[in-house]
Structure 1
Amino acid sequence: MNRRKIIRAFFICLIALFSAAKSSFALETIRVAYPSMNTSVFCLLIAQKEGYLKEEGLDVQLLSIRGEIAIRTALAGEVHFFTNAGSALAAGVRGVPVKIATVFQDKPGWDLIAHPDIKSVAQLRGKNIAVMSPEGSLAIVAREILRKNGIDPSKDVNLVVMGGDEVRFPALQTKSIQATLFNTAMSIRAQKDGFTKLATASDYANLIEGGLATTNDKIKQNPEKTFRFIRAALKGLNFFVSKKEAATQYMMDALRMKDSELINAIYDIQSRLILREGYSDDKVLQSMIDDMKKTTKVQRSVKIADIFDLSFVKKANDELKTSGWKP
């Protein structure tokens, strides 16, 4: 009887050890909010599919959440990162405790798209132009394009706050709005449907379109986890730039598109704008901050370190270069 008890106890211990070992290998979930499909999201999807996140003991959960809501959600601790770094820049300048941890693009890849009967920016006077939030990236670039074409965005047009592409494109089709800024994918699709391209955003502004942002608390609470996530994302970014055929297949899956010609056109435009190392130089970053201060009417001094924490992505770059890592 004693022998049976010993054997039984042995197997119970073995099961307990197995369960403990299994739980120790469980992946930690990183929740990431995104407003629309862009380079940041593609890189994370690639990092997931290629196993880069798993190598770091992580798993990503992508949540479609609009810009300013994503920031509130992050501050409440509901998500770990968000991809709308432009909104993070506006929030950071206002003193909200968030940091931009990577800059994947410092020039926006959007086009100003209008109804077919509008052929110039000048014809937008008195019209409705949709943006995603009053101080988000779309709004900032839209105002810059209008100003440089002699239109006062506060008086001559109506900036209407709407959701993502899935909301703004039907609004454009039904003439609820007359123009909006679309990302590369939606821009090409809209032009194929007869809508007019009035301007290319990268000709008018330096602005963060692709990047990853988080809260100051998340960085302080777990800098090691933050670093692992950034390193996996950076690997995904380099895969995207280096392996066109595989990257475009991932894009087709994510966008649920079968038009390879369209996907290749999107890829060619986006890949030219990508910052392979995941950050921009200080001069560009400070100019973005200064422009945002004007937009938000903030008077206090705001430095790069107040808005950006690029230490993780720079460290990851150094490690990958030293190790000779290739996708």
Structure 2
Amino acid sequence: VFGGGPDTIARLVLKHFGLDPEKDVKFVATGGPETRIAAVKQGLIAATILSVPSDSQAAKLGFHVLARAHELFSYPEGGLVATTKKIKERPDETKRLIRAGIKTNRYIRTEREGTIQFLVDWMKVDRELAIATYDALGKSFSEDGSVPENRLRFVIEENKKIAKVDRDITPREIADFSILREAQKELGIKGK
């Protein structure tokens, strides 16, 4: 999807290597990972962006991983979002969810074997693929649930370019970390 996460990441990777995504590359919307892998295999497109574990599956088919975005730059790809109404009406529920997320992240970061087994059971993938997934992403989960301000600013600036917005936008305008701070405090974590 143009403008979606994979599109944005692909453009950032290309820029990192000195290419102009608007001039040097032609983007084609091809669908999900399986469709994109098939399109490369058939020679319909030259390359594609894949997330874990699709990148490992493609490597098994003989494809070469040219770059891993998370090794090039810090771009928070996921997060917890809720409406302002939901947060105001159910702050305790929101905080419980955030606390659970922090505990889950900490488990993922410290319990490699348990996480790999969960991936095998939940994703229904073989152990080799689960190991590749964990090794690629296991340590990328935030230990305290926070997103460093420089990462948030990076996302803001990239999206301002896409949306052609000139005004300054601060992280506080797009994110409210007050409930996260409460959850961190309850867990005995000093937030960043």
TM class by shorter-chain length? 0.7 to 0.9
Q: How does 1:265-304 map to 2 (within 5 A)?
A: 265-304=132-171
Q: CA deviation at 1:236?
A: 1.7
Q: Is the 8 A contact 1:141 1:204 kept in 2?
A: no
Q: CA deviation at 1:267?
A: 0.8
Q: Deviations over 1:41-70 (max 9, x none)?
A: xxxxxxxxxxxxxxxxxxxxxxxxxxxxxx
Distance 2:87 2:72 in 1: 33
Aligned to 1:239: 107
| Cα gap change, 1:163 to 1:313, in 2 (>3 Å) | farther
| SS of the residue 1:316 aligns to | helix
Q: Deviations over 1:114-164 (max 9, x none)?
A: xxxxxxxxxxxxxxxxxxx22222212211222333432112322123443
Q: Which runs of 5+ in 1 are unaligned?
A: 1-132, 323-327
What TM-score do you get using the length of structure 1 for normalisation?
Answer: 0.53
Aligned to 2:178: 311
Identity between Structure 1 and Structure 2 (%): 33
Q: Is the 8 A contact 1:137 1:207 kept in 2?
A: no
Q: Deviations over 1:255-278 (max 9, x none)?
A: 2112x2332232122112222111
Matched residue type, 2:124: R
Distance 1:165 1:254 in 2: 19
Aligned to 1:200: 68
What TM-score do you get using the length of structure 2 for normalisation?
Answer: 0.86
Q: How does 1:1-327 map to 2 (within 5 A)?
A: 133-258=1-126, 260-321=127-188
| Cα gap change, 1:221 to 1:164, in 2 (>3 Å) | farther
Q: CA deviation at 1:290?
A: 1.9
Q: CA deviation at 1:216?
A: 2.8
Matched residue type, 2:179: F
Distance 1:283 1:156 in 2: 28
Distance 2:169 2:129 in 1: 41
| SS of the residue 1:197 aligns to | coil
Q: Deviations over 1:222-274 (max 9, x none)?
A: 2222112222222222222222221111111222112x233223212211222
Distance 2:46 2:138 in 1: 29
Instruction: Using CA pairs under 8 Å that are at least 6 residues apart, name the structure with larger relative contact order, 1 or 2.
Output: 1
| Cα gap change, 1:277 to 1:197, in 2 (>3 Å) | same
Deviates more, 1:243-252 or 1:169-178: 169-178
CA RMSD of aligned residues (A): 2.1
Distance 1:163 1:220 in 2: 37
Distance 1:217 1:155 in 2: 43
Q: Which has the higher helix share?
A: 2
Distance 1:176 1:198 in 2: 18
Matched residue type, 2:162: T
